Amino acid sequence: MTLNNFIIREIIAEDNPKIAKAIRSILIEFGAPKVGTAYADTALDTLSENYTNKKSIYFVIEKNGEIFGGAGIKKLDNYKGNICELQKMYFKPEARGIGLGSKMMDICLQKAKEFGFESCYLETLPYMEGARKLYRKTGFKDLDAPMGDTGHYSCNLWMLKNL
């Protein structure tokens, strides 16, 4: 899928250091804590390997060999039930405000449905207002407490969408 010369495609191993660097820089940009967020995830450095299960997938946004962000779908950790999590959806400033977020959401939620999940969960931070606006527009509803145990205890806003 291409938009403004940005390509959304499935992650490959060569993307690992680029997407890890992009996500960490975005978290720093937003002043997110380094502990209790995706910043500290050891899996961040090997993302492609962490989405090899048959019911998981991660997409990156690429332009001219540079990675500008990504998002993935995976079964919600430490939760009994048929719920997936929208994971590590972060975009560099150049990839924001041009429709890529909506496209990425469409692609990820379609995959979640194809995988047979009943609902999609996500965690975010209060000051990521643009992301929260997109999530609400897509049909995510606020929750009063987290689901599962993602290890992202610094993320204090939780949302769920029925698929």
In whole angstroms, how far apart are CA 103 and each of 3, 5, 41, 98, 120?
Answer: 9, 14, 26, 10, 16
Q: For the residues 10-33, what does the mean pLDDT come to?
A: 90
Query: Which residues partner with 124 through β-bridges?
Result: 157
Instruction: Give 2-162's CATH code, choosing from 3.40.50.2000, 3.40.630.30, 3.30.30.60, 3.90.226.10.
Output: 3.40.630.30
What residue ranges do the domains of the chain occupy? 2-162
C-alpha span between 43 and 59 (Å, rounded): 15
Rg, the chain, Cα only: 14
| pTM of the entire predicted model | 0.92
Asked whether residue 125 carries a pLDDT value surpassing 90, the answer given is: no
Task: For residue 26, give Cα distances in angstroms to 62, 108, 124.
Answer: 16, 20, 13
Residue 30, pLDDT score: 82
User: With bands split at pLDDT 50, 70 and 90, how would you rate the model's confidence at 144?
Assistant: very high
* C-alpha span between 64 and 4 (Å, rounded): 12
Of the candidates 76, 88, 75, which has an alpha carbon nearest to the alpha carbon of residue 16?
88
CB 21 within 8 A of CB 139: no
